[in-house]
A = this chain, B = another copy of it.
Amino acid sequence: MTTQQRRPSSSRRSEASRQAILTAAFELVGEVGYAKLSIEGIAARAGVGKQTIYRWWPSKGAVLFDAFLALSAGPDEQQGLPDTGDLEADLKLVLRSTVVELNDPRYDEPMRALTTEILHDPALAASYTERLDAPMKELKKQRLRSAQQAGQLRTDLDLDLAVDLLWGPLLNRWLLRSGPLTEQYADTLVETTLAGLRPQRRDVEA
């Protein structure tokens, strides 16, 4: 079913303008960078009056956020993570592709821009967490839950935390450029982290 026709908001709202704005925002931020992204520029590129932006979005970050929403709501982003039964291999696959995406200049700048807005706007951060991050996280947790049920992860493991442990270091390295963001890094990260998440007979200590 999924009727889903969101965002009437007002029946008079121009869908063409909305699309033009989101597209212009995403393209512009990739071309000129976050620092030089301006509402004025977005309006000009979209062929739209500034007021049309101010009427429907509270901030530049909100526009950017919606631009991302439109993107990820796009084709078919919603399928789950691969599940071959081999958790480590599956995770490596996913994290490697995350690395590739983060290194792709087409996404790097826009994502940094969105991140910046989120950094300084708790409301936007909440939106992000709820609308973009949570769905993704749910997919990740599903894969981990599957592994947990297969006895490949500790039964008392907090899956939210597990997701943090796997993706947090990756995102952090990307954001701060604290080191090269390679597929090799993704692999090692998965291996080392998983080691602590698996059921264990006993440690050396205790």
Q: Which residues of A contact B (CB under 8 A)?
A: 33-35, 112, 115-116, 118-120, 122, 125-126, 128-129, 133, 151-152, 157-158, 160-162, 164-165, 167-173, 175-179, 188-189, 192-205
Contacts and interface: CB of A to CB of B under 8 A. Distances in A.
A16 to B, nearest CB: 22
Contact of A34 (B120, B162, B175, B200): B120
Contacts of A175: 115, 119, 175
Contacts of A202: 201
A200 B195 contact: yes
Given A34-B120, A119-B115, A192-B197, A160 B172 contact: no
A164 to B, nearest CB: 4
A157 B189 CA distance: 11
Nearest to A112: B119
Given A157-B192, A161-B192, 15 more contacts: A112-B119, A115-B175, A115-B176, A116-B116, A125-B178, A128-B176, A164-B173, A164-B189, A165-B165, A165-B169, A168-B169, A168-B170, A195-B197, A198-B203, A200-B204
Max chain B Cβ within 10 angstroms of own Cβ: one of A122, A169, A204: A169
A192 B165 contact: yes
Contacts of A128: 176
Contacts of A178: 125, 129, 133, 164
Given A116-B116, A178-B129, A204-B151, A164 B157 contact: no
Contacts of A168: 168-173
Nearest to A124: B177
Contacts of A170: 168
A157 to B, nearest CB: 7
Nearest to A134: B178
Contacts of A198: 203-205
Contacts of A172: 164, 167-169, 171-172
